[in-house]
Amino acid sequence: AQKITQTQPGMFVQEKEAVTLDCTYDTSDPSYGLFWYKQPSSGEMIFLIYQGSYDQQNATEGRYSLNFQKARKSANLVISASQLGDSAMYFCAMREGPVLTGGGNKLTFGTGTQLKVEL
Amino acid sequence: NAGVMQNPRHLVRRRGQEARLRCSPMKGHSHVYWYRQLPEEGLKFMVYLQKENIIDESGMPKERFSAEFPKEGPSILRIQQVVRGDSAAYFCASSPAAAGWTDTQYFGPGTRLTVL
């Protein structure tokens, strides 16, 4: 089974509108972290936002917020007031497992959602 | 504070040659990760290193690929006898500690390897 699933290969949104990018995950570990990264056409990977499995509140960072629904195993990224510069590929990623097991540091990525912001 | 540095940014090799990719982590970071991104795909974990130690190489191909993170100097990902299928973007990330799943990995700009 896929550990991270992003079902929207492409999304369009109008400038100044809000957009939600979907991400579902699969893990049996109670301790995990969820991350969103942005990859513009220039290719670099930019960290956007993090949510821990034990966090009680949804994470927010400026115009980015994470809609974390633990029972549904979803961690959707919400971008408010979209800007042209938000056009990019967005990746959801998960880091699972306690560090002591030695294997809990790698990130598992989804296949990404290409977001295009239009005027 | 300088970010994660990778060089070269672009590397072209002919089949059978060796490729060496370098990564300097962010200042104060002692953990380095390498990921590979094939065209039109997400990133796939390759290897996790600390200074002078390979911690997890479960994503590294068994042959031709090796990685090191010496006591002094950058981390190196080495690909021997490259083949066309090695063409990809190789990203390095670093984090300050491995104490928990809250540590964010910060990525470098990547090295785009093209094998002719």
Mean pLDDT of A97-113: 73
Q: Which residues of A touch B41 (CB under 8 A)?
A: 111
* Nearest CA-CA distance, residue A36 and chain B, Å: 10
Contact state of A107 with B43 under an 8 Å Cβ cutoff: yes
The predicted-structure confidence for B101-114, as pLDDT tens digits, reads as follows: 567 899 999 999 99
Question: What is the mean predicted confidence (pLDDT) over A60-82?
Answer: 97
- What is the model's pLDDT at position A1? 59
Mean pLDDT of A68-72: 96
The predicted pLDDT at position A100 comes to 43
**Taking residues B83-109, what's their average pLDDT?**
85
SS3 B107: strand
Contact A93, A29 (CB under 8 A): no
CA B92 to chain centre: 4
Over the stretch B32-79, which tens digit does the pLDDT of each residue have? Answer: 999 999 988 889 999 999 988 998 899 999 999 999 999 999 999 999
Q: Which of A33, A103, A109 sits opposite B102 (nearest CB)?
A: A33
**B43 touching chain A per CB within 8 A:** yes
